[in-house]
Structure 1
Amino acid sequence: METAVSTTLSKRSRTKQKRWDSPIAGYLFISPWIIGFLTLTLYPMIQSLYYSFTDFSLLEAPNWVGVRNYEKILTSDDKFIQSIKVTFMYVITSVPLRMVAALFIAMLLAKNVKGMSAYRTAIYFPSLIGGSIAVSILWRNIFGKEGYINHILGYFGIGSTAWVNNPDTALGTLVLLVVWQFGSAMVIFLAGLKQIPADLYEASSVDGAGKVRQFFNITLPMLSPTIYFNLVMGIISSFQMFTPAMIITQGGPMASTYVYALYLYERGFGQLQMGYASGLAWIMLLLIAASTSVIFITSKYWVFYESEGSRRR
Structure 2
Amino acid sequence: MISTAGVRRNRYLRFDEENPLYGYLYLIPFLIFFGTFVVYPIFRGLQVSFTNWDIVNPPQFVGLANYQRLLFDDTLFVTCLKNTVYYVFMYVPLGILVPMLLAELLFEPIRGRMLFQSSFALPIMVSVSATALIWSWFLNPTFGLLNLYMGKVGLPGQNWLSEPQNAMKAIVLTSLWWSAGWN
TM-score where L is the length of structure 1: 0.43
| Corresponding residue for residue 99 of structure 1 | 96
Change beyond 3 A, Cα 1:122–1:149: closer
- Contact residue 153 and residue 159 of structure 1 kept, 8 A: no
| Corresponding residue for residue 5 of structure 2 | none
The structure number with the bigger radius of gyration is 2
- Contact residue 53 and residue 60 of structure 2 kept, 8 A: yes
| Corresponding residue for residue 144 of structure 2 | 148
What are the Cα deviations for residues 30-72 of structure 1, in whole angstroms up to 9, with x where unaligned? 3443233212211221121112112244666543221111122
| Corresponding residue for residue 287 of structure 1 | none
Q: Using the alignment, how far apart are the partners of 2:124 and 2:55 within structure 1?
A: 35
Structure 2: segments with no counterpart, 5+ residues: 1-13
TM-score where L is the length of structure 2: 0.68
Change beyond 3 A, Cα 1:143–1:64: same
Change beyond 3 A, Cα 1:178–1:34: same
Deviation at 1:128, TM superposition (A): 6.1
Bigger relative contact order, structure 1 or 2 (CA pairs below 8 A, ≥6 apart)? 1
Identity across matched positions, percent? 26
What are the Cα deviations for residues 163-202 of structure 1, in whole angstroms up to 9, with x where unaligned? 11123311100110221113333xxxxxxxxxxxxxxxxx
1:28 pairs with one of 10, 25, 28: 25
| Corresponding residue for residue 14 of structure 1 | none
Amino acid at match of 1:177: T
What are the Cα deviations for residues 265-298 of structure 1, in whole angstroms up to 9, with x where unaligned? xxxxxxxxxxxxxxxxxxxxxxxxxxxxxxxxxx
Q: How many residues align?
A: 166
- List aligned pairs for 1:220-231, cutoff 5 A: none
Amino acid at match of 2:160: W
Report the more deviating stretch, 70-79 or 95-104: 70-79
| Corresponding residue for residue 180 of structure 2 | 182
- Contact residue 150 and residue 156 of structure 2 kept, 8 A: yes
| Corresponding residue for residue 161 of structure 2 | 164
Deviation at 1:140, TM superposition (A): 2.6
| Corresponding residue for residue 72 of structure 1 | 69
Q: Using the alignment, how far apart are the partners of 1:154 and 1:184 within structure 2?
A: 28
Change beyond 3 A, Cα 1:46–1:127: farther
- Contact residue 53 and residue 66 of structure 1 kept, 8 A: yes
- List aligned pairs for 1:189-208, cutoff 5 A: none
Deviation at 1:125, TM superposition (A): 5.0
Q: Which has the higher helix share?
A: 1
Q: Using the alignment, how far apart are the partners of 1:159 and 1:112 within structure 2?
A: 35
| Corresponding residue for residue 3 of structure 2 | none
| Corresponding residue for residue 81 of structure 2 | 84
Structure 1: segments with no counterpart, 5+ residues: 1-16, 186-313
